[in-house]
Amino acid sequence: MPTLDEALRLKRSGDLDGAVIALEAVLAARRSPVALAHLADAQVRRGRYEEAAGALDRAEAAAGATAFTSRVHGDLHYKGGRWADAARCYEDAAALGDDGDWPLVQLARCRLKMGDPDGAQGAAARVVERRPESPGGWVVLGDIAMQRGRLDEAEARYALAHDHDPSDEWAYAKLVEARLVGLPPDKRDREVQVLLKTTGRDNKHLLGVLARIRGEQGDQGAAADAWGRRARSGDLFARKQQGFALRKAGRLDEAAGVLGACLAADPEDRYVFSSYVSLQTERGAVEELRHTLEEALPRAGSRRGAYFGALRKLPLPEQ
């Protein structure tokens, strides 16, 4: 029988599947709000959002909201694109005593996505004032400057983030992207490919930069291939972008396979849902669409109504 400490060691090591199995074994043996909260966190990181929500509800019913459960709630809302709800939860986490960088960095990202750059700057500034060596706040300050068209300032912020933590692949990719803004797309493409073979080897975020550049060049097939390379690491976001790019490239059969798998992995993603439904309707793949929707329906959470609506519109199966 695994202990809670052993389960948490698995989670910290990145073995999320093993951590879930161990945490469920702990919970089968005894009541533990802490184990429930960590189970929810692991499920969010695995993309199992309905299971995460259920574990969070049970944890807070047993022991009330904590800084950690509020943070996990924020992550759950963020993954679902519910920026205002996520921002509220990250604020709660900070107010309840989470003094790490994550809640404030995420709060800043939410504010930026909500169209509130001043609010984003305030949250990011709190991070860099509290812990100037942490890259997260500097990256968000770079994002704010980039959104405002202040390219030199953005590059300087990303450079600070990279200087503070050269191992942070996201900060490095943002710095590269800022430095390439002024170049024509074909030259940006070549520069990123060189970096991927040298200093940026295996940096999945640089592959995302390459994919976006190729999309800007109008080569959606090449963009899809770049997203696919990034998705090999298990990156669901990249897999979704690959599916969208394949559809734009006219590779509809491939797009259907990729987007169907993405919907099965994340049934509550409204963009994947709408794209997949319209794509399969366009292809005339009614039975394939029906099967995918019926398989995903039990895990569709708040999107169940949309699934029932789409299923009702399908012609009855042939007898």
Write out the chain in H/E/C secondary structure: CCCHHHHHHHHHHCCHHHHHHHHHHHHHHCCCHHHHHHHHHHHHHHCCHHHHHHHHHHHHHHHCCCHHHHHHHHHHHHHCCCHHHHHHHHHHHHHCCCCCCHHHHHHHHHHHHCCCHHHHHHHHHHHHHHCCCCHHHHHHHHHHHHHCCCHHHHHHHHHHHHHHCCCCHHHHHHHHHHHHCCCCHHHHHHHHHHHHHCCCCCCHHHHHHHHHHHHHCCCHHHHHHHHHHHHCCCCHHHHHHHHHHHHHCCCHHHHHHHHHHHHHHCCCCHHHHHHHHHHHHHHCCHHHHHHHHHHHHHHCHHHHHHHHHHHHHCCCCCC
Domains of the chain: 1-98 (1.25.40.10), 108-129+139-147 (no CATH), 182-239 (no CATH), 251-319 (1.25.40)
For residue 319, pLDDT over 60 is answered with: no
* pLDDT, position 257: 97
For residue 306, pLDDT over 70 is answered with: yes
For residue 202, pLDDT over 80 is answered with: no
For residue 126, pLDDT over 80 is answered with: yes
For residue 26, pLDDT over 60 is answered with: yes
Average pLDDT over residues 198-206: 80
